Chains A and B, each alone.
Chain A
Amino acid sequence: MNKMVINHLDKLFVTNDAATIVNELEVQHPAAKILVLASKAQQEEIGDGANLTISFAGELLQNAEELIRMGLHPSEIISGYTKAINKTVEILEQLVEKGSENIDVRNKDQVICRMKAAVASKQFGQEDILCSLVADACIQVCPKNPANFNVDNVRVVKLLGGGLHNSAVVRGMVLKSDAVGSIKQVEKAKVAVFASGVDTSATETKGTVLIHSAEQLENYSKTEEAKVEELIKAVADSGAKVIVSGAAIGEMALHFCERYKLMVLKISSKFELRRFCRTTGSVAMLKLSQPNPDDLGHVDSITVEEIGGVRVTIAKNEEGGNSVATVVLRGSTDSILDDLERAIDDGVNTYKAMCRDSRIVPGAAATEIELARRVKEFSYKETGLDQYAIAKFAESFEMVPRTLAENAGLNEMEIMSSLYAEHASGNSKVGIDLEEGVCKDISILDVWDLYITKFFALKYAADAACTVLRVDQIIMAKPAGGPKRDQPAAGMDED
């Protein structure tokens, strides 16, 4: 189910992405905040599984409450939970699907099969379209050593209008701006990138033009013009057909660019400019001068198109251009687009996680049930009081299949009992098929979760729960009055 959140800036979010929800909720309660922090850590580490972190930690604490009512001391619960999480990690490793540790991260099918569960949990029913978009984009930008995959290289451009079916992946970049000059289309061209503006150069110290007569004034303008023309001509002579500027473009410079048939783009964001450099393989020059042939980049085509009433510049670089890929998303409202973007972000993060560690475990709650069963067994072998805590830890895993079943409108009791029955008879890969509402073997459904996502989510959740349990007193200062404290400026000179 989706939630509708309106934050303090009156911005509307319609999503079921836990990370976004907790981010916008501005949780005040300190203990709840610890869980939120755990989910944020998960979001930063993996980029997915925030919901599992929060719900599991919440479930652990809820069960801890029962234990405390039974008369257990929190320290015993902590020791039990710690033992249980260590055991869980051990079991989780055993559940890893054999042969999954080496995949070809460039094989679309293998990638999609691992990504599907993560994306489906955000956009159920649309995961097939989204996954193939994300997989295409990711595989395009995947570097030679997949471990160096950079999430930043998959861009998302949201354009209002159309539908998800109109979405596409572009090899290269899509800029949401128009070209500055009148040339709107160039093919197979060299690109010169200037980080500072394309204009007459200026000194740092204030300069004054000393003029005695009208003649001199005229001459001065002429020298000025000649200088700019010389520079632009130098750029044109070097073979470049496109000039990209990181700052303002002077009127006069633009005029000469037109004359020498140069296409002019303006990218004011420094990071966007760097990405553009990566896309085209060019080097940003600081001063307007004749570029080295090495510093020039290459694009297959740059065109200005109008999509849904917005003029966008599309820079494509098919061959060798495996540095940046852009997913052009189409959707009918802003909030749908935002939610799709979050699903894509999760997908891309999953890809990154699988580049680092591609091991997978059965999805659709099969892993959780198996963990619940095995940890429970483990608890019987313990002799101390912490065995109750371990047993509760095991029970907490049931939350996942229960919630899944409930959200799908199934009878949870029925599902749970049949899951347990299947697992007890040794079919450790049986999970829930949400569409048919029955229990099935995961290998038929082809639903897999990444091992590393589960690992971090469970570990962070257990950590957070133990932290909350260790607290015996909360001391709250009065809320500070006045306007909210600003973030300290990101200066480097702290010393």
Chain B
Amino acid sequence: MSLRVLNPNAEVLNKSAALHMNINAAKGLQNVLKTNLGPKGTIKMLVSGAGDIKLTKDGNTLLKEMQIQNPTAIMIARTAVAQDDISGDGTTSTVLFIGELMKQSEHYIDEGMHPRVLVDGFEIAKRATLQFLEKFKTLVLMGDEPDKEVLKMVARTTLRTKLYETLADRLTDIVVNAVLCIRRPEEGIDLFMVEIMHMRHKFDVDTRLVEGLVLDHGSRHPDMKRRAENCYILTCNVSLEYEKSEINAGFFYSSAEQREAMVSAERRQVDERVQKIIDLKNKVCSGNDNDFVVINQKGIDPPSLDVLAKAGIIALRRAKRRNMERLVLACGGEVVNSVDDLTPDCLGWAGLVYEHILGEEKYTFVENVKNPHSCTILIKGPNDHTIAQIKDAVRDGLRAVKNTIEDEAVVLGAGAFEVAARQYLVNEVKKTVQGRAQLGVEAFADALLVVPKTLAENSGLDTQDVIIALTGEHDRGNVVGLNQHTGEPIDPQMEGIFDNYSVKRQIINSGPVIVSQLLLVDEVIRAGRNMRKPT
């Protein structure tokens, strides 16, 4: 109570009160996210301040949107969000694991054990589990041609936890093909090279992969072609509109003729640039009926559009900067910054360019490209919340595939790893530990079981039955996971349920760290200049 003397306005929670506040916050967060885990988890509906709806099963999205107020919960949520930033998945598991660790610790602390001893035990258990993970992981050699089946299995496992089954299976192929499309040997995978575009249209299962690019704008001239085949693509970043000079200039004239002359002189510079593009078009398109498409990052003003349209060129203006990169990767050629030295080498090529109009929105598809290193996932859905849901899932799916390629390893899923690690900790590690730290190891081991337990609970199965069955199988030396439909043990390898190695490692790494910090808190002080109680 010494703080009271120093600052009578400060709020203090001491010793056990502080500890219990932390534990309760962790448990509370766990309870919120519990129902979302696994393919049979349910969805939460988030309604924003403006009344917009968001439906999600993704732990990361939930934590971001939930506007958490409790300081402990915020800490946990940050760890989980960091988990997502690094590995793209496993947020729900992280929160559950942290919550469960806190819950297990509570028993021991209530019995009078010092948190420090528990924390020591956690540290030992964590190191042992990480070592075990190294042994347990299944190696996947990537080489030049990655094994598509494995990637698909990993992607499917992730996606099924975010979306319902039919849709998840459809997205699996899309996601895997997208990553393989942009993957280039000896280079890191840049997921930004996968454009994610959405259209409010048809059904969610109509989502597809476009090998090429989809731009969310169309040509701005009514006379330009809506569909063109065998196109040369000029990707450029050249202003094709009249720009005022930096200095304040003015014209003086004394007759209308003079003014007319000024008007045309003003345009000449822009017209010359347009003419150069047209010259190039005439050069490459003479003698064949190929089409010519200009995609410009800067603007093209109506007179220039008109001239281009008359020359039979399709022109798109104000493309996104990132799309310029993607275009070059998809179609070949290079981004041109000046029209002074245009050569046919600068041109990319696409088999089909067409415009699709959806109500007010226009989309331009650049398809049938020769050697794509960039692609577009075109998400369709009848309404915004479906699209947002798919978008989040696709992003996670892409990350899962990327992780697998980079880790060159996967981990058996469906709770198999957790049960195996628990058995390993209890049967082997615990015996090597001296003194009370053993209890910490035990608590850690039991906390690992939260994943299979929650999976069983969400499928409406009996938790105890499931755990007994699973541990029994593991003791007999069989590595098994949980079959969500029947509650029977299954071999995850046979079913193709694989998790990311880096995701699991991150969970085991970050969970105990934050729990140790929280357990070792012995006083929560809210003090400072602005201490008005939130009423």
Contacts and interface: CB of A to CB of B under 8 A. Distances in A.
Interface of A: 28, 30-31, 33-34, 37-38, 40-41, 44-45, 73-75, 195, 200-211, 216, 219-220, 223-224, 226-227, 274, 277, 283-284, 286-287, 459-460, 463, 467, 470-480, 484-485, 492-495
B105 interface: no
Contact of B242 (A204, A208, A492): A204
25 contacts: A30-B51, A34-B53, A34-B383, A37-B383, A45-B201, A45-B382, A75-B40, A200-B256, A201-B263, A202-B263, A207-B251, A207-B259, A208-B250, A219-B255, A223-B256, A283-B223, A287-B303, A470-B55, A471-B43, A471-B45, A473-B44, A474-B44, A475-B44, A476-B46, A480-B48
B287 interface: no
Contact of B50 (A73, A220, A480): A480
Contacts of B222: 274, 277, 284
Given A224-B256, A492-B217, 5 more contacts: A207-B250, A220-B256, A477-B47, A477-B67, A478-B49
A28 B51 contact: yes
B43 A205 contact: no
A474 B47 contact: yes
A73 B35 CA distance: 14
Interface in B248-273: 249-257, 259-260, 262-263, 266
B194 to A, nearest CB: 15
Nearest to B266: A203
A207 B262 contact: yes
Interface string B99-129: 0000000000000000000000000000000
Interface string B176-209: 0000000000000000000000001111100000
Contacts of B250: 205-208
B15 interface: no
A381 B306 CA distance: 65
Interchain residue pairs A-B with the least CB separation, the first 9: A480-B49, A41-B382, A472-B42, A495-B320, A227-B256, A37-B383, A223-B255, A223-B256, A207-B251
B8 interface: no
B302 interface: yes
Contacts of A30: 45, 47, 51, 53
B64 interface: no
B370 interface: no
A476 B49 CA distance: 7
Contact of A204 (B244, B384, B385): B244
B526 interface: no
Interface in B278-331: 302-303, 306, 318, 320-323
Given A40-B383, A41-B383, A494-B320, A463 B45 contact: no
B169 to A, nearest CB: 14
A339 B255 CA distance: 57
Nearest to A28: B51
A219 B257 CA distance: 12
Interface string B22-52: 0000000000100100001011111111110
A234 to B, nearest CB: 13
Nearest to B358: A44
Nearest to B389: A467
A205 B322 contact: no
Contact of A73 (B67, B259, B321, B460): B460
Nearest to B43: A470
B1 interface: no
B240 to A, nearest CB: 14
B477 interface: no
B359 interface: yes
Contacts of A216: 254
Contact of B35 (A200, A219, A473, A474): A473
Nearest to B310: A283
Nearest to A76: B460
Contacts of B253: 207-210
Contacts of A210: 252-254
A474 B49 contact: no
A489 B40 CA distance: 39
Contacts of A223: 255-257
Contact of A286 (B55, B204, B306, B320): B306
Given A30-B45, A475-B66, A226 B322 contact: no
A110 B487 CA distance: 57
A227 B66 CA distance: 67
Contacts of A38: 382-383
Contacts of A220: 254-256
B45 A286 contact: no
